[in-house]
Structure 1
Amino acid sequence: MDNEINVKIKQKHAGKINKGFPLISKEILLNENQLPEEGSIIKLVDEKNRFIAKGYYGRQNKGFGWVLTRKENERIDQEFFNRKMKSAYTYRQNFFHDQDTTAFRFFNGEGDGIGGLIIDYYDGYYVISWYSKGIYELKNYIIAALLNTVEAKAVYQKKRFDMKGQYIEEDDFVLGQEPAFPLIVKENGVNFAVYLNEGAMVGVFLDQREVRKAIRDRYAKGKRVLNMFSYTGAFSVFAALGGAEKTTSVDLANRSRPKTEEQFRINGLNPEAQDIIVEDVFKYFKYAVKKQLTFDLVILDPPSFAKSKKFTFSAAKDYKNLLIDSIAITEDNGVIVASTNSSSFDMKKFKGFIEAAFKESGEKYKILEEFSLPMDFKTSKDFLEGDYLKVVFIRKLKG
């Protein structure tokens, strides 16, 4: 692209961008009104017109665009996107040869050099998520780069950006041969039913792969397991396959029941032998306390932000109280799997929530192990917010 538009940034922010920070935020811009149309390639210069970086302009919740290169002479053209895509493929080459895991993250935004762009792989089918109108305007380059790099059975896209005040979670079939749904993919030998044509959430969160494996292989055997915010029951399926005595899955969404039943069935498990409950998680905590129900393994993986009729949950504000509710129904020597995908706080602060919850509950605990994003979710050392996943396995010690 030859049409590069100079955009001035404040002198005090130039060093940070120069050192590797990839996000173009509102606060660094000298004049927000100088921005061109979304999708334009912009050349960031300091107040003395010295080159800092090139990127694209695209508004999303995190900022106004992303840096693509710090080389002034590097052209943002088809070959540029081809290089990025081939680098992503090389980094994940081993995943393509793993017959036990046929779903993974193929391209992870700024970790692979293009913020605002996610591509997931499902057994030869690719799903592209566009997080701004700006990156979507570059779609022809990106789809061509993908097809220049891999053989795709089909490509789907999810538009995850705001247009005229409307948040879009729209899916489109782009090209190739559509599969019959559900499409069955594998994760560490376990089957998942996914629907690439059903909006933003296709049926499984790929970033929890290592956590699910740990639950199956090391924590579930003989245990009564409670899976809160269970979505399609992936944790419950892994726990059942790991020999859990029984699993209880709780989620507010009506579709969680048939989706969870389906995941059990495609793995040869009888969903009737498990408890699958459609209810507000916070109501279920009260019910469990009233009925004196306790569990050996409690899994907490709430969304960063959730809203029900009577309650709004924010991980940054409410996770401590969620843990307090969980501690109350966890057996002595039981384990709580505390997970959050909130990028608004780090692991240190998350552990602070854990410490405060146990202190208020009058209980002692021991941290057994921790997880962050798996290898395919490549992150940038210069953008810590991108390494969002924090999972802690906590043993509730006998008093």
Structure 2
Amino acid sequence: MVNGERGPRATKSGGTTRTAAKKPAAPRKKATTDRSVANGTDPAFVQLLTPEGDRVEHPDYSVDFTDQEYRDLYRDLVIVRRLDTEGTTLQRQGQLGIWASLNGQEAAQIGSGRALAQQDMVFPTYREHGVLWCRDIDPIMPFGLFRGVDLGGWDSRKYKFNMYTIVIGAQTLHATGYAMGVKLDGKMGTDDGEAVIAYFGDGAISQGDVNEAFVYAAAYDAPVVFFCQNNQYAISVPVHKQAKAPLFERASGFGFPGVRVDGNDVLATYAVTKDALDRARHGEGPGLIEAYTYRMAAHTTTDDPTRYRDRSEEDAWRLKDPLSRMKAFLEKQGLADEDYFAELTAEADRYALDLRERVLSMPEPDPSSIFDHVYPNGSPLIDEQRAEFLAYHASFEGSGH
């Protein structure tokens, strides 16, 4: 990586170099199902930063960052988007088998990722590149997975970030089981308690696994936050065809609070996620966050969104871009100038170039290595399959195939 860095470092307190929102002296509030903030034709949600970059107040949620911390949040957004763009480019050039872009969802991921404490555990899907960045994981890691070199190479225990999950919704059950273990171990009830967060999309909320996770989390008061990035489409199916009511309202049916946040607002996402995590770690049970956002790119690089959505819809959402609004905020507050933005763009380009060079230099694995780690102590059946596999490949030697 550039200068040997892998992203912002975690502090001893469990946060990042960015400080948490200051807590008021009044008793900590209870989370509620919130519809108090409306924005034109958009649904009601928690919002602290308008698309034009203006700060707005909310009766329940707030942030109090330093000037540098605001700039650092914008830096996160810019670098993560640049790395994501490089992922798409590499796939188009035949260097990756597939790539799942987060374009448009950066604020939802950076805001929630920076709200995590060091001891919290994350269960992602296959798109949480921004949250991965917030956990100080080398951005090269998921590229081995999408290149077919490995299954993802980071240490889940070290980084408190589980492996990417391809099976839609399965990680919510994993997260709930992990959270139940946290409770059984008594690792909650204080500011230093542990919380768990599970990421998924609006399509996954229709999966049985997700709803079963809701049942168990509620029944056991598990310290888990369900974070739904509602990017409006389950591949090609719009959310209104699978849900007749706002997604966050489903939480009440299971007996825990839900809240909808402007998922393109990094400040509001941070505030809402931190509140839900704090509730969970203090033993107040699970919560559901619906981050209302938009998937600007295709579902993956194998998808063609022009077949199921209009350009006018994309243009309307582009006006709510998470990076543009944060940049406008910095400019209006006098926190950054053109030199800062130019330097940041150059820094992001250096990260992308470094990433590209390392992806292209990844060694090709021995095809037979797929058998090596199926069982820790081997297996006669696996040995037989490996021998058959090797014999099959050897049969092509000298044939030109």
TM-score calculated relative to the size of structure 1: 0.32
More helix as a share of residues: 2
The structure with the greater share of residues assigned to strand is 1
